[in-house]
Amino acid sequence: MHRDTEIVHAGYRRKTDTGPFLAGPQFSSTYASPGDPSAHALTYGRFHNPTWTVWEEALGILEGGGHAVAFASGMAAVNALFGVTLKPGDTVVLPADSYYAIRRVASTWLESIGVRVRLASTRDNAQASVLEGARLLCLETPSNPMLDVCDIRELVAAARDRGVLVAVDNTTATAYLQQPLTLGATFVVASDTKALTGHSDLILGHVATADPAFADALRAWRTHHGAIPGPMEVWLAHRSLPTLPLRLSRQCASAARLAGLLAARPEVAAVHYPGLSTHPGYAVAARQMSAFGSIVSFDLGSRSRAEAFLGALTLVREATSFGGVHSMAERRARWGGDAVSEGLVRFSVGCEAADDILHDVEAALAAMP
């Protein structure tokens, strides 16, 4: 069966089942469960929820096999991953350009409990050089907001030789475009807040792994730390899943057109998009991704020019986050924390007609001082 068809049906009831295609969210903190609790499938809402169960089944299909565990947010998922893999004295290797909050957790919580943190850039597989003696290697490809790319399969091989576990933050690509478990990674971690669910209406995350013991440990972490997703969010996420192939196909096609347009404009100092043949990660991205993603980053040279551009857009919203059906853009340096230039704009291409997005961008470029 075509992968798009599998995704449309993932976790939904089968043709032979009666009732709704997808049951509504189950709101219950507790379940009638007399006597021996082990005799009951459902007992208490922090332990399990049928709305999670079908969503996790869908995520497992999306990730190309393996066990998925849903969390309250992408960061809850990242913290669970760290919690079940790292102990005092261990070393974790992180991308120097990884998501800011992840570096923050590493430099505060992890270092405070005696976990050593090594940073190396994503570009050129630089992390391979600092693997010796590590317990966990974390990758983020494409990285964010600079969209650098590393070779998952090659880094997995380097890590395996040294007994190092590999986790890939797959938020930017989503499992639709890239399946790290099938490339040999032990874990995928993702924020499902972004393109996977795509409607800018919820916060969720998940970890997936082919290792059943780690899957049990992640579920136990979720139960005991209380990092559980709400049933309403999970149901909304599942409702959004069948349109993932449609949404992302259009978003990626439009992003490629936008990158091409920007690359040809003299006002734009640099364009970062792994689908441009001039991008240093183009060949690797073409090999390990089925399309190049919905984000394009570009440098307008200065803070004032980037602000003028964002202010002149009439369709594209100025907002943080990415992957949603509505196009949005922001000047990344306004947050601090990322090593980016003052004029860098991260542009998340939505599902509007590409011509309208491109016209909006061209008009805003023309309006810059």
Those residues whose C-beta lies under 8 Å from the C-beta of residue 111, and which sit 6 or more positions away, are: 117
Torsion of CA 67, 322, 241, 168, to 10 degrees: -20
Among 62, 75, 136, 227, binds ligand PLP (CB under 6 A): 75
- The DSSP string of 207-263 is EEES-HHHHHHHHHHHHHHT-PPPHHHHHHHHHHGGGHHHHHHHHHHHHHHHHHHHH
Q: Considering the rule CB under 6 A, would residue 56 count as an interface residue with ligand PLP?
A: no
Single out the segment in contact with ligand PLP by CB under 6 A; choices: 42-50, 188-196, 280-288, 343-351. Answer: 188-196
Q: How far is the CB of 229 from ligand PLP (least distance, A)?
A: 11
Nearest residue to ligand PLP by CB is 74
- Determine contact, residues 246/294, Cβ cutoff 8 Å: no
Instruction: Please identify, using beta-carbon distances, which residue of 170 and 254 lies nearer to ligand PLP.
Output: 170
Q: How far is the CB of 78 from ligand PLP (least distance, A)?
A: 6
Torsion of CA 38, 44, 47, 48, to 10 degrees: 90
Among 51, 85, 171, 174, binds ligand PLP (CB under 6 A): 171
Single out the segment in contact with ligand PLP by CB under 6 A; choices: 21-29, 153-161, 186-194, 270-278. Answer: 186-194
Structure tokens at 214: 């780690």
Structure tokens at 83: 């919690």
- Determine contact, residues 271/298, Cβ cutoff 8 Å: yes
Instruction: Please identify, using beta-carbon distances, which residue of 77 and 259 lies nearer to ligand PLP.
Output: 77
Single out the segment in contact with ligand PLP by CB under 6 A; choices: 164-172, 207-215, 233-241, 288-296. Answer: 164-172
Q: Considering the rule CB under 6 A, would residue 203 count as an interface residue with ligand PLP?
A: yes
Q: Considering the rule CB under 6 A, would residue 158 count as an interface residue with ligand PLP?
A: no
The 10 Å Cβ neighbour count of residue 44 is: 15
Single out the segment in contact with ligand PLP by CB under 6 A; choices: 11-19, 24-32, 53-61, 189-197. Answer: 189-197
Q: Considering the rule CB under 6 A, would residue 55 count as an interface residue with ligand PLP?
A: no
Q: Considering the rule CB under 6 A, would residue 140 count as an interface residue with ligand PLP?
A: yes
Those residues whose C-beta lies under 8 Å from the C-beta of residue 233, and which sit 6 or more positions away, are: 202, 203, 204
Structure tokens at 351: 């599902």
- Determine contact, residues 329/352, Cβ cutoff 8 Å: no
Those residues whose C-beta lies under 8 Å from the C-beta of residue 224, and which sit 6 or more positions away, are: none
Residue 107 DSSP symbol = I
Q: How far is the CB of 365 from ligand PLP (least distance, A)?
A: 26
Single out the segment in contact with ligand PLP by CB under 6 A; choices: 88-96, 150-158, 187-195, 223-231. Answer: 187-195
Q: Considering the rule CB under 6 A, would residue 95 count as an interface residue with ligand PLP?
A: no
Query: Residue 1: exposed, middle, or buried by beta-carbon count in 10 A (0-12, 13-18, 19+)?
Result: exposed
Q: Considering the rule CB under 6 A, would residue 82 count as an interface residue with ligand PLP?
A: no
Instruction: Please identify, using beta-carbon distances, which residue of 70 and 261 lies nearer to ligand PLP.
Output: 70
Among 73, 85, 122, 254, binds ligand PLP (CB under 6 A): 73
Instruction: Please identify, using beta-carbon distances, which residue of 189 and 261 lies nearer to ligand PLP.
Output: 189
Instruction: Please identify, using beta-carbon distances, which residue of 165 and 195 lies nearer to ligand PLP.
Output: 195
Q: Considering the rule CB under 6 A, would residue 208 count as an interface residue with ligand PLP?
A: no
Q: What share of the chain is helix, strand, coil (3-state, %, to 5)?
A: 40, 15, 45
Instruction: Please identify, using beta-carbon distances, which residue of 74 and 360 lies nearer to ligand PLP.
Output: 74
Instruction: Please identify, using beta-carbon distances, which residue of 58 and 354 lies nearer to ligand PLP.
Output: 58
Residues that bind ligand PLP (CB under 6 A): 73-75, 99, 140, 144, 169, 171-172, 191, 193-194, 203, 205
